[in-house]
């Protein structure tokens, strides 16, 4: 890949993710401190908030303005169905207000704001514009506006994930983690979650020692981290970023495993069996969202495994950004058969062999792959 290719696209992506993280931080603070509801359930019972819809509208509008409107293809999680219902007027009004507040601050991040506030119809259009299904050809932005909405509404970990896929290959990824502090020792706060939250006045990035944004371009051999910085500091980008690398730990007894929090779409018992069989001894780190990929890329954990329950299909927006960041930081991500994940089949990771394994290095990866083959026939999947 040419060194300068995608430079503008990546810089824009980092900036719009910063805007989105700022938006999320404000919404989450209101959600937790004022107990403002505006959390509704989609048809699959998963939650959606003002932040999910507002981030999607904001990023959609910014990308379309910068890269040319109808030429921009965006694959994203949300649609307008949930806010088009008769009883959703309050939610829709909150989304419109949040989007306009966020876009008004875009110049602080080196981005252009609208000449006038967006009307309701324009916000709905921005959300609806994210209707691409991806595929093997063309350029597609892949967005998860709030990955880990359950974590978001609980004041826990979540992520804003944006990747660019061209001709079926992920060319770069950006991962905003507003509650993942730059100081690693804060990562385990969720083990003492209630006690920790009671000692903090809010979940703004400052209260957590700031969040962070990670990004990487495929083939560069480099993954970067920068603090979640205020708009007036964006002029320092990218000088405020630092290189990150995966952990050098290759002894399973010393390795830390990341697991999904949600039991609905993952099989914790099979994962626990694998962990025991390869000799993992440390307490698993259970965190919401693609923060698990961030933890591996930063060297805070060594392994992430996810084995979906029967019938669940992994979506590309849940993995694209995280996978490229881990790989460029020196890690490995494959399915349980050892094959690279395929982002060319549309909205889903079609053909996935049993599950997903992300590791900091080849030694741990090979042991886990072998353990999967040894354990699979006796599993309850």
Q: Measured between alpha carbons, how far is 96 from 98 in angstroms, rounded to an integer?
A: 6
The pLDDT of residue 30 is: 87
Question: How many domains does the chain divide into?
Answer: 2
The pLDDT of residue 65 is: 96
The pLDDT of residue 265 is: 63
Q: Is residue 1 part of a domain?
A: no
Boundaries of domain holding 352? 252-378
The pLDDT of residue 239 is: 65
Q: Is residue 2 part of a domain?
A: no
- Does one domain contain both 311 and 236? no
- Does one domain contain both 258 and 141? no
Catalytic positions are 52, 149
Is 147 annotated as contributing to ligand binding?
yes
Is 78 annotated as contributing to ligand binding?
no
- Does one domain contain both 201 and 321? no
- Does one domain contain both 83 and 118? yes
- Tell whether pTM > 0.85: yes
The pLDDT of residue 236 is: 60
- Residue whose token pair is 């950006």: 174
Alpha carbon 354 to its chain's center: 22
The pLDDT of residue 269 is: 80
pLDDT < 70 regions, the chain: 1-3, 35-46, 184-209, 230-239, 263-266, 376-381
The residues, any chain, with a CB within 8 Å of residue 371's CB and separated by 6 or more, are 274, 277, 278
pLDDT tens digit sequence for 116-135: 999 999 999 999 999 999 99
Question: Computed over its alpha carbons, how large is the radius of gyration of the chain?
Answer: 20
- Does one domain contain both 75 and 218? yes
The pLDDT of residue 260 is: 78
pLDDT tens digit sequence for 274-324: 888 999 999 888 888 999 999 999 999 999 998 887 788 999 999 999 999
Q: Is residue 345 part of a domain?
A: yes
CATH code, domain carrying 180: 3.30.540.10
pLDDT tens digit sequence for 163-185: 999 999 999 999 999 999 877 66
Is 250 annotated as contributing to ligand binding?
no
The pLDDT of residue 197 is: 39
Is 4 annotated as contributing to ligand binding?
no
Q: Buried b / exposed e across 243-259, counting CB within 10 Å, b at 16+? A: ebebbebbebeebbbbb
CATH code, domain carrying 362: 3.40.190.80
């Amino acid at each position: 890949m040419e060194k300068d290719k995608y430079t503008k696209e990546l810089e824009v992506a980092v900036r719009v993710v910063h805007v989105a993280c700022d938006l999320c931080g404000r919404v989450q603070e209101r959600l937790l401190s004022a107990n403002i509801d505006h959390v509704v359930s989609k048809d699959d019972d998963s939650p959606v908030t003002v932040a999910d819809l507002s981030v999607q509208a904001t990023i959609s509008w910014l990308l379309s303005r910068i890269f040319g409107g109808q030429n921009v293809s965006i694959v994203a999680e949300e649609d307008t169905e949930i806010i088009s219902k008769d009883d959703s007027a309050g939610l829709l009004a909150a989304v419109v207000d949040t989007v306009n507040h966020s876009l008004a601050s875009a110049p602080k991040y080196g981005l252009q704001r609208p000449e006038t506030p967006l009307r309701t119809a324009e916000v709905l259009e921005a959300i609806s514009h994210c209707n691409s299904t991806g595929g093997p050809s063309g350029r597609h932005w892949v967005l998860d506006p709030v990955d880990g909405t359950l974590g978001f509404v609980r004041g826990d970990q979540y992520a804003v994930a944006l990747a660019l896929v061209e001709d079926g290959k992920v060319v770069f990824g950006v991962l905003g983690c507003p509650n993942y502090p730059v100081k690693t020792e804060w990562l385990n706060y969720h083990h003492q979650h209630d006690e920790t939250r009671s000692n903090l006045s809010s979940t703004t990035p400052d209260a957590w020692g700031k969040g962070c944004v990670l990004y990487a371009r495929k083939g560069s051999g480099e993954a970067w981290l920068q603090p979640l910085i205020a708009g007036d500091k964006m002029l320092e980008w990218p000088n405020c970023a630092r290189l990150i690398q995966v952990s050098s730990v290759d002894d399973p007894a010393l390795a830390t495993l990341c697991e999904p929090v949600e039991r609905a779409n993952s099989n914790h018992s099979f994962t626990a069996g694998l962990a025991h069989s390869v000799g993992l001894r440390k307490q698993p780190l259970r965190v919401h969202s693609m923060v698990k990929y961030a933890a591996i890329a930063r060297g805070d954990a060594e392994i992430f495994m996810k084995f979906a329950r029967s019938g669940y299909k992994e979506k590309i927006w849940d993995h694209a950004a995280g996978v490229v960041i881990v790989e460029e930081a020196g890690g490995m991500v494959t399915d349980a058969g050892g094959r690279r994940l395929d982002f060319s089949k549309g909205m889903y990771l079609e053909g996935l062999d049993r599950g997903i394994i992300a590791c900091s290095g080849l030694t741990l990866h090979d042991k886990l792959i072998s353990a999967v083959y040894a354990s699979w026939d006796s599993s309850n999947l």
